[in-house]
Amino acid sequence: MRTYEPIPIPFKQKLKEFRTRFLPVVVFLISGIAVFFLWSDKVSSPGMIGKAVAGQAEIRSPGSGILINFHHRPFERVFEGQLIGQVFPGDSLLLEARIMEARAEIDRIEQSLDVVSGEQRTRINLEELRIDLVRTRINLAETVLRKNLSEAELIRLRELRNRELIAEQEFERAETAFNLLLLQEEELTSLIAGLEDRLDELERFSGYGTRADRDPVLAAIRVQEQRIEVLRAEMAPIPVYASINGIISNVTANNGEYVTAGTPLTYIDAPAADYVVGYVRQPISVEPYQGMKVQVTTRRPGRNSFISEVIELGGQMQLIDPQLQRPGVFSESGIPVKVSLAESGEISLIPGEIVDIYFVR
């Protein structure tokens, strides 16, 4: 029987057969394996979606008045305890009325000295010197009030001048008036120091300092001195301090603006996240507990992750933050879970950053 040699199959024909019979199977298997790993590592639904949370401070006005020396703007860094502004008491009419009342009372006490003409002249000189001291303090208090008002007006005019809304002469007049009041304050302060030295010397010389508590005139003068000290304290600007280290995110008041007590002035955000807050949605398939291990994964390129634990749990279901809602869902609740960042290592989360949280079984 004649044998025939098999006809050789061209390589192109073999390659065509491989592409049609075997290659689809190989591609399907490779695609399935790739989809499995990508789904489990990149696309699988996390146990929770969380957000990095940092401290935020709302700075409010400690009193009612005119906001002065407040020149901060967003993105400016401030430090805890830093003086960021002052509130000058705005009720200047009431303060002036109380100053006038104290001045009238001192005038009445001075007129009563004429009745005691039989007393020793040294005692009268002592009382008159103390009256001069109180009257000078009243003048100083009035000068300080006018100076503070002039300073607030000068700050307002400086901003208007920088925006070319007023003439340079108007600003110079306000600046001159402020400098004159500042000089007057220095002179009155120096005069008060001199009167106090003379008064101390006269009390030591005459011995009336030990009997001041039994002298009704000196007692009345001391009452007025205390009233003046109270007025000076009330006229002093109230300081506004930063409560945390951070960056100013929003400013809600302007320098020279009248604010009431409790009015928000600015908001300060801490630059680093303190913890992560996530929400376990319904239906709850895994019930979290304190100390439960979780994996926190960022949404940055590379999907960096670290192992952490649950440190606190919410007491009841709460509405989920709108940023963490699923697409198309407007109102969804869940159990709030606080996750520690103590073991984040070199991964530094930005406050407000969205992360995925997986339960570690």
- How far is CA 35 from each of CA 32, 46, 62, 87, 295, rounded to the nearest angstrom? 5, 17, 60, 63, 22
Helix 216-235 and helix 121-162: axis angle, to 10°?
10
pLDDT at 66: 83
306, exposed or middle or buried, with CB in 10 Å at 0-12, 13-18, 19+?
middle
Q: From 184, 215, 237, give the residue that closes a domain.
A: 237
pLDDT at 212: 47
pLDDT at 247: 92
Number of domains making up the chain: 3
pLDDT at 225: 67
333 membership: H or E segment, kind and range: strand 333-340
Mark the ranges of the chain whose per-residue pLDDT is less than 50.
Answer: 44, 115-120, 209-214
The reply to whether 331 and 190 lie within a common domain is: no
The reply to whether 157 and 212 lie within a common domain is: yes
17 lies in a domain? no
What CATH number is given to the structural domain containing 258? 2.40.50.100
- Is the peptide bond between 351 and the residue preceding it cis, with omega within 30 degrees of 0? no
d(CA 177, CA 181): 6
The reply to whether 246 and 228 lie within a common domain is: no
The reply to whether 108 and 199 lie within a common domain is: yes
pLDDT at 46: 57
pLDDT at 285: 77
Q: pLDDT for 159-168, tens place per residue?
A: 778 877 778 8
Would you say 189 and 143 are in contact if contact means Cβ atoms under 8 Å apart? no
Tokens encoding 242: 């930063």
pLDDT at 280: 86
The reply to whether 168 and 246 lie within a common domain is: no
Would you say 312 and 333 are in contact if contact means Cβ atoms under 8 Å apart? no
CB atoms within 10 A of CB 338: 17
d(CA 101, CA 109): 13
Q: By residue range, what is the domain housing residue 309?
A: 46-55+272-359
231 lies in a domain? yes
pLDDT at 116: 46
Phi, psi of 185 (to 5 degrees): -65, -40
The reply to whether 94 and 233 lie within a common domain is: yes
249 lies in a domain? yes
Look up the pTM and report it.
0.55
pLDDT at 117: 42
pLDDT at 214: 47
Quickly list DSSP for 267-318. EEE-SS--EEEEEEESS-SS---TT-EEEEEESSTT--EEEEEEEEE-SS-E
